[in-house]
Structure 1
Amino acid sequence: MVNLTIRQHNLQRMTRYLCKLARVSPSGYYRWLTAEEARQLREDADKHDFRLIKEHFDILRGKAGPLVIKIRLERVSGLVMNHKKIRRLMRKYKLVATIRQVNPYRKMAKATQEHQTCPNLLKRQFDQGEPEKVLLTDITYMHYGNGQCAYLSVVKDGATKQILVHYLSSSLELSLVERTLENLLDRLDGNVHPDAILHSDKGMHYTHPKFGQLLKKAGFKQSMSSKGNCWDNASMEMFFGHMKNDLDYKECQTIQELRSRIEDCIRYYNSRRYQWSLKKMTPDEFRSHLLVA
């Protein structure tokens, strides 16, 4: 304010008086004046870096936070930028990521169902360092079109976070998880890890005796979330949250269109979605990394 007044009215000999009115020390004013060029350089640098951030932010349709953008800058653009700086610039220029909030009551409802048939073998130790040893599965509802509903069953690798298989159906019958298990065995080509665990919640599909028998025959140990604890299958819930946040599935008019979009989304998630917890790799890359290590 002092500097603007002095410049506008050419009041060079009134600096001390104006500083006194503004309750600013003359020495402080002159230090600020000397640093003006540096401030302008920083502002120009911020604008330049923000343009780079917004480019990736827009590509991801506003659904990416600082960590995801940092990884994309490094992997896609070859630029290293501190995530704290990215967060500061996003806050400065009011760039807010659209993050889907998971409904805690829905999670709790799934976790408090009755009929526990087997113990929780994982205790939230989803990542045990070996691909295809700990497998997580769950079902999510997907409302689309004009009131239609489809059901997506997924199996996720606890170590690599890869989505190994998925199956979409318009029916919620037991065949939904049976077909998912068939697809999983095809994907593994019969090479089931000797200590393989398939972990789920206590939904009616997973507590069904037939499904338990199929798992046992295939060589899987069955594990289920503890009663009343919504965090015991948090890894699967997290994937569904990201998927529904990224996928415009409600616009689909047919289940075939929905199936195609889901396949594209999962393909992108496995091969192109860099994750901070995977050493900034994609799930596919991290699997190769673990196998080599």
Structure 2
Amino acid sequence: MSKGTVISDEAIKILSANKFVKLVRSNRISFTYEFRIMMWERWIKYKSISSIREVMKENGIDYSLFNAQIISRIQRNFKRDGKPTNGRMGNSAKRNKTDKNYDQFLVSTGKFIRARRGISFSKDYTEKLYSLYPDQAIEDVLKSDGFDPERIGYQRIHALKRVFDGDIEPHEKQTFDQNIIEEYTDHPMVERITAHRIKLTDVFYSEASIFSDMHINDILKIFDIDSAILTISTKQRIKKQITQSDHTCSIHLEAGSSDRLKAIALNLYEALYNKMACFLKSISQCIWDLSASLRREAFIMLDSLADSHIMPLSQIISEAGLSRSTFYSILRNDAYGRYEELRNQNEEEEVRAIIDTMNYKGYPKGKRTIHMMMPEITGKSFSIKKIARLMRKHGLNSGVRAPRQSLKAAREHLEKYKCPNLLKRKFRLAMPFTHILTDVSYLFFGANGRGYLSAVKDAVTGRILAAVVSENNDSAMTMETLKQLERYTFRDNAIFHSDQGALYLNEAFQKKVKELGFRESMSRRGICEDNSSQESFFGHFKDECDYTSCSSIEELREMVLSYVEYYNNERPQWTRNKMTPVKYESYLEAMPPEQFDLYMSKETDKYEKTKALATKRAKARANLILS
């Protein structure tokens, strides 16, 4: 596809790995048909080398590996040949092959003529295509007229587009015969006309600038100028000057004005009327989508259109799809659309009144004091809630009994890390290693000693799985407690339940709990019964051990570990078939599924009865308090 450029061996190796590179040598690179089509489709929308580079970059082709002339050559081929083909010999072979029969058919239609290089579009057909371009693509018009754009040649079509876009000058030169010169010599919009050139007046360009968005043929028709006498290049020159002109002067009709000038003025009025009607129709479709302020500005603009005398105001309102009452109501309401502006203005006055009251005699004042003193100081009065909102919004802190930041931070910390109560006191309604409890208890010993016991209990079997004694009630103690749990294998979706203590509202602690495979659960705030099974272990330990006689933390630690060993393996529990926790665990693990279902049914009945009794007692206490 591209020759004459030296490509290094390293670049050849990199480019060869890309699926869109068909062939690459030191002096040549060729791309696949698929990729050439991709580059063409992007380039035809935005005719620039940067479009080709973007496609290469998006598809992993580093264009810095080869000379920039390759991309320039690709663009040159696009301009010359049009859309790429998939033939073995490329577009050059296709250009050399002429379909003589189809060319004869095209010439027979009268819309094509024979040219030096085959066929070309006739003048009349070119004018037709130009009058429809760019609203309709040339290819679409050809198809609607029964022609095949591919057989005509995309290079011909592309060349015609470039003429229409003004990129290249057409071969046809502008000429006027004597009859045309005589006809347009006295034309009010023509300043001068010769055999090869026509110059239009400043009035024409001024008035035509209003219609710069219209096709040049339609503009010329308004001013009674036959577009057929002008070549495409002449019309393009006129259209370019129209787009660069401003409306600085107008047509003035006088008593002696010619009939032709009067007809042009009438055409101009009709064109302005139609343009305004289209504008008002577009306004009607979007005016209620505008903000209130922009809507009122639009209504003011519609009111000013009546000064042009093109259309009466009543018709303007009707064409815009508005009712007269709505139009005049909004037009006369100076506050319409200014709600935010007026509210902010009113709010500034209210904030000033609050500041004046706060600064009165220099004493600090809270919102209640401001509310009570404001009427006498400023003559204004509004609610305490409004005062609090404005003070909060504008940072007016009086400093009187302000809320403590530490409490606020604690509440935010609690909301961030607290977990729902998943257990709901269903301590024993599961298999072993499913419901796991934890808590910390104070242990006072010796003369002034104090230790902390962090324990983990299996709520189903009552077995103590971990116990840590520490002098400090800190996260190191709870993390060590979790570390002791690593030797056990827990069931899927096991619950790890605690209270809402600060030790458990900790990111590192909760992360470790998740790593062990637990779902974390927490008691409700201030309700110790939600973790009563764990509390019962602490109660038994304190009742059965004389830990106050310990003289050191080491002695206390030894006593706790000894009691845990005794509690798990030797101390039977009445509610667990008079078995020790370890034996009860083995008993449940060995239980057949049918027997375990029966066991769960009995435990569920016990749970429901206990729940009903607790509800009854709570109601009784409430009635007692109310009475």
TM exceeds 0.5?
Answer: yes
Aligned equivalent of 1:182, options 483, 486, 503: 483
Question: Whole-Å Cα distance in 2 between the matches of residues 194 and 238 of structure 1?
Answer: 26
Question: Whole-Å Cα distance in 2 between the matches of residues 254 and 270 of structure 1?
Answer: 25
Name the counterpart of 1:209: 507
User: How far apart are 1:128 and its partner, in Å?
Assistant: 2.4
Name the counterpart of 2:397: none
Name the counterpart of 2:452: 151
1:128 aligned counterpart, secondary structure: coil
Greater RCO structure (CA 8 Å; 6+ sep): 1
List per-residue Cα deviations over 1:240-286 (Å, max 9, x = no partner): 00100001000000111111111111111111111111011111110
Aligned equivalent of 1:270, options 562, 568, 580: 568
Larger radius of gyration: 2
Question: Whole-Å Cα distance in 1 between the matches of residues 498 and 535 of structure 2?
Answer: 11
1:232 aligned counterpart, secondary structure: helix
Task: Please tell me whether residue 257 in structure 1 is matched to residue 558 in structure 2.
Answer: no
2:504 aligned counterpart, secondary structure: helix
Question: Whole-Å Cα distance in 1 between the matches of residues 555 and 518 of structure 2?
Answer: 33
Question: Whole-Å Cα distance in 1 between the matches of residues 498 and 421 of structure 2?
Answer: 9
The answer (yes or no) to whether the contact 1:140–1:240 under 8 Å persists in 2 is yes
Question: Whole-Å Cα distance in 1 between the matches of residues 496 and 543 of structure 2?
Answer: 26
List per-residue Cα deviations over 1:168-189 (Å, max 9, x = no partner): 1111111110000001112x1x
TM-score between both structures, scaled by the size of structure 1: 0.59
List per-residue Cα deviations over 1:18-68 (Å, max 9, x = no partner): xxxxxxxxxxxxxxxxxxxxxxxxxxxxxxxxxxxxxxxxxxxxxxxxxxx
Q: How does 1:36-75 map to 2 (within 5 A)?
A: none
Aligned equivalent of 1:227, options 480, 504, 525: 525
Task: Please tell me whether residue 195 in structure 1 is matched to residue 493 in structure 2.
Answer: yes
Aligned equivalent of 1:160, options 432, 440, 461: 461
1:152 aligned counterpart, secondary structure: strand
Name the counterpart of 1:279: 577
Question: Whole-Å Cα distance in 2 between the matches of residues 163 and 265 of structure 1?
Answer: 10
Letter in 1 for 2:565: R
Name the counterpart of 1:52: none
Question: Whole-Å Cα distance in 2 between the matches of residues 228 and 200 of structure 1?
Answer: 12
Q: How does 1:131-146 map to 2 (within 5 A)?
A: 131-146=432-447
- Give ranges in structure 1 of 5+ residues lacking alignment: 1-112
User: How far apart are 1:228 and its partner, in Å?
Assistant: 2.9
Letter in 2 for 1:237: E
Question: Whole-Å Cα distance in 2 between the matches of residues 276 and 248 of structure 1?
Answer: 23
Name the counterpart of 1:236: 534
User: How far apart are 1:192 and its partner, in Å?
Assistant: 2.8
Name the counterpart of 1:51: none
Aligned equivalent of 1:123, options 421, 424, 436: 424
Question: Whole-Å Cα distance in 2 between the matches of residues 216 and 225 of structure 1?
Answer: 18
Question: Whole-Å Cα distance in 2 between the matches of residues 210 and 222 of structure 1?
Answer: 13
Percent pairwise identity: 40
The answer (yes or no) to whether the contact 1:129–1:290 under 8 Å persists in 2 is no
1:142 aligned counterpart, secondary structure: strand
TM-score between both structures, scaled by the size of structure 2: 0.28
Question: Whole-Å Cα distance in 2 between the matches of residues 179 and 230 of structure 1?
Answer: 24
Question: Whole-Å Cα distance in 2 between the matches of residues 217 and 242 of structure 1?
Answer: 31
User: How far apart are 1:119 and its partner, in Å?
Assistant: 0.1
Q: Moved runs in structure 1, 4+ residues, more than 6 A? A: none
- Give ranges in structure 2 of 5+ residues lacking alignment: 1-409, 592-627
Question: Whole-Å Cα distance in 1 between the matches of residues 560 and 526 of structure 2?
Answer: 30
Question: Whole-Å Cα distance in 1 between the matches of residues 433 and 548 of structure 2?
Answer: 32
The answer (yes or no) to whether the contact 1:128–1:158 under 8 Å persists in 2 is no
Name the counterpart of 2:474: 173
1:156 aligned counterpart, secondary structure: strand
